[in-house]
Amino acid sequence: MPSGKTHDKITWLTALPMAWIGWMISHELSVTALLAGCFLFAGLMFSGDLDTKSVQYKRWGWFRWIWIPYRKLVPHRSPFSHGPVLGVLTRLLYLSVWVALLFATLTRVALALDQAQLAEQGFGIAKQTAVFFQNPVYVGVGFIGLWLGGFSHTLADEIVSMLKRLRRKSRRRPAKKHKKKHK
């Protein structure tokens, strides 16, 4: 498999063409930024290697602990981690559960501390986020960016695996012996 540094290089080298494609299709800065941002996030922080102690896992810093159950539940290179569609969906669903738990906990703490104003601010942020997710273009572009970023990781893994298999096959083949012609 390519190293974490190689995956990072692939992500950085393909982010600009991804943004250009987003611009050529939409001619909207917000759509272009969302596509490129989600692509970068998926490649650098949200790849299929979150099921191992990878560079992406370590980038979560203090929050990396949220990925420990994921690492225990999802086998490495399974369809749920590296699958072209299931991989991204699994990670999105998993992270969404943590975000919902965090939001619910912070709201309960704010209400318990009689900080109604703080709780209202949290609800305001949630409303703004909900408005964002009600726009099907943004949801679709965000998912496409996440999918492409994750898929570029999986594709790099598959290409390297294929090349290694081909190299091993070529080493196993015995060299053809040339028969000498007798006169």
- pLDDT digit string (tens) for 36-61? 999 999 999 998 888 888 899 999 99
Integer Cα distance of 111 and 126 in angstroms: 16
Q: Average the pLDDT over 112-140 and give the result.
A: 71
pLDDT score recorded for residue 66: 93
Residue 180's pLDDT is: 61
Domain ranges of the chain: 4-164
Region class of 27: left (phi > 0), else alpha (psi between -120 and 50), else beta: left
80 Cβ contact partners less than 8 Å away, ≥ 6 residues apart: 74, 86, 87, 90
pLDDT at 153: 84
pLDDT value at position 22?
93
Lowest mean pLDDT among 31-35, 85-89, 118-122: 118-122
Q: Is the pTM of this model over 0.75?
A: yes
The span from the CA of 15 to the CA of 40, in Å, is: 7
Which residue in 79, 101, 102, 100 sits closest to 90, CA to CA? Answer: 79
Exposure string of 150-159, with b = 16+ CB inside 10 Å and e = fewer, is: bbbbbebbee
Average pLDDT, stretch 151-165?
Answer: 85
CA distance 11 to 8: 5
- Amino acid letter at 62? W
Grade residue 128 by pLDDT with cuts at 50, 70 and 90. low
Q: How confident is the model at residue 145 (pLDDT cuts 50, 70, 90)?
A: very high
Residue 149, Cβ neighbours under 10 Å: how many?
28
Cα separation, 59 vs 54, whole angstroms? 9
Evaluate whether 145 touches 36 at the Cβ level (below 8 Å). yes
More confident residue, 1 or 10: 10
Of 100 and 120, the one with more pLDDT: 100
One-letter amino acid of 140: G
User: At residue 183, does pLDDT exceed 60?
Assistant: no
pLDDT at 99 over 80: yes
